[in-house]
Amino acid sequence: MKLHRNEKYFKWGLTGFLVFVACAMFWIVFSNLRGFYELLLDFFDIISPILFGCLFAYLMNPIMKRTQRFFEKLLAKTKLSDRKQLTMAKTGGLLVSLLVLAFAVYALIALIVPNIISSLEELLQQSKLEGYYNRINDWVNNVFAGTRFEEWFHDNLDSLLKILTDWLKKIDISKLLTGVTSSVYSVVMFVFNMLVGVVAAVYILLYKKKLCAQAKKITVAVFNTKHTNRLFEIARRTNRIFSGYVIGKIIDAIFVGVVTYFALLIMGMPYAPLIAVLVGVTNIIPFFGPFLGAIPSALLLLIEQPIDALYFIIFILVLQMIDGNIIENRILGEKLGISDLWVLVAILVFGGIFGFGGMLLGVPIFAVIYTLIVDGVNERLKRKRYPADTNLYYSLQCVEDLPVEPQPSYSFVSVEPTYDMHAEDEDYDDDYDE
């Protein structure tokens, strides 16, 4: 009895100590938030090669899986042993995924970047800016003649044009780009981190099943059975949402950018590479993306040639209708399970905190959090023997109006999650033991 009391007091003391430590850490972090943020950035900078490796491996994994299955079907007709067939198929899939990654990097550096630089050089020429100003000036004089807006325009825009042209006279874009990239150390470290990331991605792809098995082993050792199964189900759910959404969004953005580029070339519009990259990159962002890319592009074409801006707007509207209703659904597959309102909330919250990366990853992260909240709410409702069907709550005036479900015959209520906990994980179904 005395031993039991001592154990109880020890647990109380340990709990109080941990609470005190957590409060102290919380106070230290938020009393020096800027320093803590810089410390996190330094830590992420140190492990950046591993982070690059995880990113590359995640993007390369679908290509490797499909290529490996293709090689397995070809090698199944040969007389090689199963082990050799597996090794050759896995090696072939890895090589193909590496070639795709190398081609993507080459296309970005050799094809896209020079075209963007040339478009910017053409756009920022002093004669071009003066021509833009004259066209806007004529338009303002014709439309807002005799109004206060015309007076304000001439008072402010004249000085702005003078400042901008003086700045351009002093700056050579080629020298500016050379100066930006002249930091040998930063360039070498970035290239080094990328190369180490590729090597790390290769090892991650080769030993992905073993790494997953080790993570599962640690989880089983640390948590109880109920929490372990729940964590496994959350991991599978997160992987399905992220793999389907992020990779699908990237593919869809590349498609939209390529279609925009060739459409602008066919229509003979200027700045095709710059506008195509802008439209494609911003298309990754849901909800706001098409507008973020189309509006500045249309304004740029409006200054150059107003009729081109009209044709571009019509083209973007048609492209977004086709992409949003047909192509994007085919690429992304299943919906995220959240409404457009929550997509907007996720973009605003995560984008405001983490910038462009938050806009891209905020939606799938919020989708995972949303499904966890739904599971928790449904579980509590079933424990109270209330229905989980949302349609029954539209006209609800008081709790007594809800139908009460019969009491189960067993002593505890087992709530099934939204997703099947024992569903076969599609990312592991083609992996084999080392």
CB atoms closer than 10 angstroms to residue 368 = 18
Angle between helices 82-106 and 48-75 (to 10 degrees): 130
Q: Can you give the pLDDT at residue 405?
A: 72
Task: State residue 229's pLDDT score.
Answer: 92
Contact 120, 275 (CB under 8 A): no
Provide the 8-state DSSP code for 232.
H
In order of 124, 295, 303, the CA distances from 279 in angstroms are 20, 10, 18
Say how far apart CA 173 and CA 322 lie, in whole Å: 38
Note the pLDDT of residue 365: 87
Supply the pLDDT for residue 420: 45
At residue 131, the pLDDT reads 66
pLDDT tens digits along 104-128 = 888 777 766 676 677 666 666 666 6
Backbone phi, psi, residue 52, to 5°? -60, -40
Look at residue 272 in the predicted model and tell me its pLDDT. Answer: 83
| Sign of the torsion formed by the C-alpha atoms of 415, 417, 418 and 419 | negative
For residue 216, the model assigns a pLDDT of: 93
**Backbone torsions φ then ψ of 236, nearest 5 degrees:** -65, -40
pLDDT of amino acid 175: 54
253 Cβ contact partners less than 8 Å away, ≥ 6 residues apart: 280, 281, 283, 284
Give the residue ranges of DSSP H helices in 283-414: 289-304, 306-322, 328-332, 340-354, 356-383
For 339-369, give the DSSP string: -HHHHHHHHHHHHHHHTHHHHHHHHHHHHHH
At residue 215, the pLDDT reads 92
Q: Which position has the token pair 């995880």?
A: 54
Structure confidence at residue 247 (pLDDT): 77
Whole-number Å distance between alpha carbons of 241 and 247 = 10
Mean pLDDT by 10 residues, the chain (434 residues): 59 77 73 68 82 86 89 84 85 90 80 69 64 67 66 62 58 52 63 87 90 92 90 89 80 87 88 84 78 82 79 88 74 64 82 74 86 89 85 81 67 46 43 40
